[in-house]
Amino acid sequence: MSVLVHENFDEGWEDSWDGKIHNSYVSEDALQLMFKRNSHYGCALYKDVTPSRHVKVSYKVKLLPSWNSDSTGKTLGFADLRWKDSKGRSFGHGNRRPSPDGFSFRTWFGKTSGLTVPIGMYVYHLGQKPRWGDSIKVGSVKVGGPEVLFECEADFDEGFIRARIDGGDWVRHNIVVTDKTAVTRAWLDAYYGGPAVAKKNMAWSVRDYKLENLGVDPLSEGIDWDAIAKMVAAKEEADLQTAEAETSSPWPTEKPMPLADQLRQLADKVESLEG
């Protein structure tokens, strides 16, 4: 386990992020995700992180009294946008399904009803049903109300993503990814729409953004990855020799375990030894 990013929005914080802050700004220790009238983008900052297949993001959020959404939109999350089409556009984002790699999660929000706003998960993954990603409601936040904690965990090997608000019940959603997909980006995003734009100035206030790797830490000094690579190479060679020998056998044989599963088993063993 390790902390990939912990952003408190201190002085100079923006220097370590790429992208554009657009209309957002920091007030005290909070990032104000500002959606201006007739615009889509409130913020589009990102930071590359060590590839991780089991992560958790958490942050505290408050909807300012100005908030009155009449459409859906997306805010903070994490992603793997390394995989691109022939035009250089990332799969798993922007109405482009993973093909087969690519993944993104952003916090979803819906239309304001009274003084409450539904929020949840917006996920692009290989098993998504609609073209533009799966939207899953987790709960609601009160406009002008107290700050709440939002948490989201994704485990690619177990095939799920789940989220909760203020320590409540987890809402789980099944996902499908390939063995090459991993979270490689922390994402401070704020996008109004779909096709709609904000009809007035409105903002979320967020602070204490943290992205954690809940799996094996690839940078841990206690893990000899060279030794593991040699073990995997030796196992592959042995499997190849076994397969060649069995081609002439009249008896049925078991299918060898995929390399990705072997790596996961090795990582689990190493983690248990480290613990």
Tokens of 138: 């987790």
The confidence score (pLDDT) of residue 95 equals: 82
Tokens of 121: 């998960």
Query: Residue-wise pLDDT tens for the chain (275 aa)?
Result: 899 999 999 999 999 999 999 999 999 899 999 999 999 999 999 999 999 999 999 999 999 999 999 999 999 999 999 999 999 999 998 889 899 999 999 999 999 999 999 999 999 999 998 888 999 999 999 999 999 999 999 999 999 999 999 999 999 999 999 999 999 999 999 999 888 999 999 999 999 999 999 997 655 555 555 655 555 565 566 556 555 554 544 444 444 555 555 555 555 554 444 44
Tell me the domains of the chain and their CATH numbers: 2-213 (2.60.120.200), 225-274 (no CATH)
Residues contacting residue 32 through CB under 8 Å, at least 6 positions apart: 24, 25, 26, 64, 203, 204, 205
Buried b (16+ CB within 10 A) or exposed e, 50-63: eebbbbbbbbbbbb
Alpha carbon distance 31, 172 (integer Å):
28
* Cβ count near 179 (within 10 Å): 15
The confidence score (pLDDT) of residue 216 equals: 79
